[in-house]
A and B are shown apart, each in its own frame.
Chain A
Amino acid sequence: MSATAEADAAPMAVPAAPAAPAAVPMRTPAVRLRGARLAYGPRVLWDGLDLDVAPGEFLAVLGPNGSGKTSLLQVLLGMRQLSAGTVQVAGRRAGRGFARLGYVPQQRPMDPQLPLRGRDLVALGLDGHRWGLAVRPAARREHRRLVDAALAAVGASGYAGAPVGRLSGGEQQRLRVAQALVGDPSVLLCDEPLLSLDLAHQRTVASLIDARRRGHGTTVLFVTHEINPILPYVDRVLYLVDGRFRIGTPDEVMSSATLSQLYRTEVDVLRIRGRIVVVGGQDGADAHHPGGP
């Protein structure tokens, strides 16, 4: 399935980064998978996955536990190899340490004694992967400016000096978003970033991610159990179940007919006050019961 319809509709702002690979033409999909297969021994997570995600597109990746949602992100990050097929990110083969990929993990409890402030966490997203010492004063000033800007963009300037382990889960996730964005990514990979956040913080974090995409044309791949907090922003859904999958708009995929086919059992999809409620299916078909990763 192609993403051209959404690509034309989406704002095509080209990221204004000095490091932007100029060779990438506008039409190159931000993420491209062809005949992608991922298997652990005899267990096939998914196979024959063809996916083009356009620059600036917001793709939600849904599915029950163990359906290979996180593994898909790991493939894009170059941390896991496909069993078959090809994967490209921004026109080049996915590999470890591609600088223009941002990553927002799920919130995890942090040690309150961790000797790390909010701004340090964000700064690691900028140059934590670089070897050697930063000694040039000009580079240090620029570094500080970028970190300050990223902190301000997520409204975290007020607690940038506090130890990260003492902040609330919502505050930590704002910092995570800043950490992912400070490197000016062209593709943002989010792995259940709303899990264990309360509703208000879920909304804030989701809208921060969407604001980045609208402002900079950043592509977003958003792995989640719960589509409702991001429903207003989602262009398309990739729904994975037991090696089967569907790609399409939320209306196409989140329907009783499609999910019943995917789960091979009767599933009812209800729409109540702008929210989607999934009833039936196996564990995790119910989008309102977030489980493990």
Chain B
Amino acid sequence: MITLDGTTELLTLPFVQNALLAGAVLGLLAGLLGPLAVGRGMSFAVHGTSELTFTGAAAALLLAGAGAVSYGALGAAVAAAVLFGVLGLRERERDSAIGVVLSFGLGLGVLFLALYPGRAANKFGLLVGQIVGVDRSDLTVLAGCGLAVVLVLAVIHRPLLFATFDPVAAAARGVPVRVLAVVFPVLLGVATALGVQLVGALLVIALMITPAAAAIRVSANPLVVTVLAVIFAEVAILGGIVLSLAPGLPASPYVTSIAFLIYLGCRAVAAVRGHP
């Protein structure tokens, strides 16, 4: 399971390099968005969004073939994000509403896959990711969307931070809290959709939430937390892909395991400091 035999040669392959580039973009987005998602109590919404992304990707696969998967995923993620963002205005209902919508979406996704006559690997890939599937055009979409998310984040990050961590004072100060409650899930949805190709719908949460949750354990400085979350996410995704090459296994178990170990490490550090 853990071997690096032949990893060096595999790293020279274009599809591996594509996957690593895609992973780097995804790690950056996950690290930037994760602390805000955790701060807004949106872990379950991230999971719900990624499940619905799977539905969208499955529908696209069935209706338009493997080439349309990215767009189907993106469309579904944004729709789900807007939905959850609007529901998020009434926090108590949000949890159950997400549960209701995601289970229905997941059921539809299973139906679409069952109806899809093509290769089984494409189906499985949507759930657990397949780095082999990342080609140049995917990479272009990924880089374009990633850049758009980073630019929007650069413009809104202070009001977003204010609205996330101190909503009452933010609203009093004129920050459009309700608008941001929809804009942020959309950013999160785009990042989630990009992640589905790589690590799969079931495991995106490991990249979006775990690094941020780990970083929050060891610092209360928002800047430090964000930098740490980016580093943790990059280590998890890039390390996971590299470790998965030689054994020829999917990257996601390695990605999730690294993320989980980082989380445990951060909790241990917090416990030693007396903040369990």
Known: A105-B168, A128-B158, A128-B166. A120 touches B221 (CB 8 A): yes
| Complex partner residue of B222 from A96, A101, A105, A115, CB under 8 angstroms | A115
Cα A77 to Cα B157 with chains together (Å): 23
Pick the most buried of B154, B156, B217, B220: most chain A CB atoms within 10 A of its CB: B220
A24 at the binding interface (Cβ < 8 Å):
no
Residues of B contacting A131 in the complex (Cβ-Cβ under 8 angstroms): 155-156, 158-159
In the assembled complex, the Cα of A176 lies from the Cα of B169 at a distance in Å of: 9
- Cα distance, A116 to B175, chains bound together (Å): 18
Q: B44 at the A/B interface (Cβ < 8 Å)?
A: no
Contacts of A121 in B (CB 8 A): 165-166
Interface residues of B (CB under 8 A from A): 35, 39, 154-159, 161-162, 165-166, 168-175, 215-217, 219-222, 225, 275
Dominant SS at the B interface?
A: helix
Interface centre among B155, B217, B222 (most CB of A within 10 A): B222
Q: Beyond A124-B161, A124-B162, A129-B175, is A115–B168 a contact (Cβ under 8 Å)?
A: no
A77 to B222, CA, bound (A): 28
Query: Residue-by-residue, is A130-146 near B (CB-CB < 8 Å gives 1, otherwise 0)?
Result: 11111000000000000
Q: Which residues of A contact B166 (CB under 8 A)?
A: 116, 121, 124, 128
Contact B216 A115 (CB under 8 A): yes
Instruction: Determine if A115 and B174 form an interchain contact, defined as CB atoms under 8 angstroms apart.
Output: no
Q: Which residues of B contact A77 (CB under 8 A)?
A: 172, 174
Inter-chain contact B173/A97, CB cutoff 8 Å: yes
Flag if A97 contacts B174 (CB, 8 Å): yes
B170/A129 in contact, CB under 8 A: yes
Instruction: Please state if A79 and B171 are interface contacts (CB–CB under 8 Å).
Output: yes
In the bound assembly, the distance between CA atoms of A116 and B159 in angstroms comes to: 14
A63 on the interface (CB 8 Å rule)?
no
Asked whether A105 and B169 contact (CB < 8 A) given A115-B219, A115-B220, the answer is yes
Closest Cβ of chain B to A194, distance in Å, is: 16
Q: Which residues of A contact B225 (CB under 8 A)?
A: 115
Task: For residue B271, give the distance in angstroms from its CB to the closest CB of chain A.
Answer: 14
Residue contact B159 to A128, C-beta cutoff 8 Å:
yes
Report which residue of B172, B175, B217 has the largest number of chain A beta carbons within 10 angstroms of its beta carbon.
B172
Question: Among residues 181 to 212 in chain A, which have CB atoms less than 8 Å away from a CB atom of chain B?
Answer: 189
Q: What's the Cα separation between A132 and B173 when bound, in Å?
A: 16
A179 at the interface (CB under 8 A from B): yes
Chain A nearest CB: distance from B233 CB in Å?
A: 16
B173 to chain A: which residues have CB within 8 Å? 97, 103, 125, 128-129
A78 engages B174 (CB within 8 Å): yes
